[in-house]
Structure 1
């Protein structure tokens, strides 16, 4: 990711803020009338690596044509940039919006490695980047750290995983909350 960004993103990645998740899109637990395995979203961290089991279903939104979705082959391993990369690179690298469509009666597994900056790092553009887009004052002054950002983004998933009841940070509103926080 540093090579793509043209600057060292290793700074702020020293404590191993890495999480691993096995995603089981089981037809037994999915809503019977829905083909949505995991709605369209962007990850919060620096990048995510998705290892698939060969079953198709992962799609990424075309960055040049928002609303156009590209289906990823089921045996492909992909790396996706997240929101922290957007902020750290001054908007030079965009987060990849993605989602999973399930096939009724077909189980799909994927293993995902999430990599993010250290929790105490202030989220603001790193020195050496020309701003590609205007950021909010809160972002420009380092008013948000990675821990806070992770907590807010995590609320999007906790109720889906059975760890927390939904609250004012409903999944549908989460991307809007982040958009308002990040951009001017």
Structure 2
């Protein structure tokens, strides 16, 4: 049973120490119509201004979040030969299973095969990951290690996936309210749960190796991303007032970070920002010249693969043309996956 702290008069908390606003989501989950609209508009304004927001009182049980982090660490602590019993396929289109450090190249662009080879040789992103989705996905079936390698791992991932899906639906409803299109406007194209749960581990490394980035700058190509992170830090987002400069997003206990993705930018005709972000090694976290391991769990909210993403009513018209052609969600996702593997 999730309990909520008493919502403040304003759902928004601002801090000079953090690049993004913190919003109390309980006013949407358990509030009256006025409170729900206030929270929805606050999220909308954060996405419009900087593309990111931190949510507290988000409705996910903290003990379940902590249990998922424990299971994630147990998986990444396995010997490499055990983790490789669930290998990510060679091509990016089947985005499931385990990827060893250096296997994936996070990229913002779509390249030809020769470009990809050259970029992968240059990349120093250093992380390992495990991808999963719903159990009955016919396009990207899950790839699990044998049950005896880590008992309960498969069940924990699937259970947490559906827990995140509940928050996904509530956030989609908030966006529908903010756009004044009705609560179910966006949920109507997110019915199939074609989203993705990713477990991420950034191994410890000497801090003086400045050539190693934990994840290069990129945008997410989904509707939005829900991020759970530990207290190590390192997430940075591009400053909308100084392109090319990045601002730190400091971890807030018992919260999630949510950022708008490319599809939300396309739907809103760039009213909402899909902001470039990266993960670096913050010097404040180094101990004896060594960066500690970092663990995070992003949940990528994707619309149904058969969706055609097009600018929604009210975001375009005379004097404000559409910035994007209608886009097949499946084709766009597969092209972006192909740049990574």
TM-score range, shorter chain: 0.7 to 0.9
**Partners of 1:43 and 1:3 in 2: how far apart?**
23
Change (3 A) 1:13 1:52: same
- What are the within-5 Å matches in structure 2 for residues 71-86 of structure 1? 71-75=248-252, 77-86=256-265
Richer in strand (by share): 1
What is the aligned partner in structure 2 of residue 114 from structure 1?
A: 300
- What are the within-5 Å matches in structure 2 for residues 69-148 of structure 1? 69-75=246-252, 77-102=256-281, 104-130=290-316, 134-136=322-324, 139=325, 142=326, 144-148=327-331
What is the aligned partner in structure 1 of residue 156 from structure 2?
A: none
Q: Which one of 153, 157, 164 corresponds to residue 336 of structure 2?
A: 153
Q: Which one of 16, 40, 63 corresponds to residue 240 of structure 2?
A: 63
- Deviation, 1:11, is 3.0
**Partners of 2:199 and 2:302 in 1: how far apart?**
18
Conservation of the 8 A alpha-carbon contact between 2:237 and 2:275: yes
TM-score (norm 1): 0.72
Moved more, 98-107 or 110-119: 98-107
**Partners of 2:321 and 2:201 in 1: how far apart?**
37
1:9 equivalent to 2:186? Answer: yes
SS of 2:250's equivalent in the other structure is coil
Change (3 A) 1:4 1:55: farther
Conservation of the 8 A alpha-carbon contact between 1:5 and 1:92: no
* Number of equivalences: 153
Larger relative contact order, structure 1 or 2 (CA cutoff 8 Å, min sep 6): 1
- Deviation, 1:121, is 0.6
Question: Any unmatched runs of 5+ in structure 2?
Answer: 1-174, 283-289
**Partners of 1:6 and 1:90 in 2: how far apart?**
16
- Deviation, 1:106, is 1.3
What is the aligned partner in structure 2 of residue 24 from structure 1?
A: 201
Q: Which has the larger radius of gyration?
A: 2
Q: CA RMSD in A?
A: 2.5
Change (3 A) 1:152 1:48: same
**Partners of 1:89 and 1:10 in 2: how far apart?**
15
What is the aligned partner in structure 2 of residue 42 from structure 1?
A: 219
Deviation track 1:78-135 (CA, whole Å, cap 9, x = no partner) reads 1000000011112211102111003543100100010011101112112343266642
**Partners of 1:68 and 1:6 in 2: how far apart?**
34
Change (3 A) 1:99 1:69: same
TM-score (norm 2): 0.41
Change (3 A) 1:50 1:14: same
- Deviation, 1:9, is 2.5
SS of 2:334's equivalent in the other structure is helix
Conservation of the 8 A alpha-carbon contact between 2:226 and 2:259: yes
Conservation of the 8 A alpha-carbon contact between 2:268 and 2:315: yes
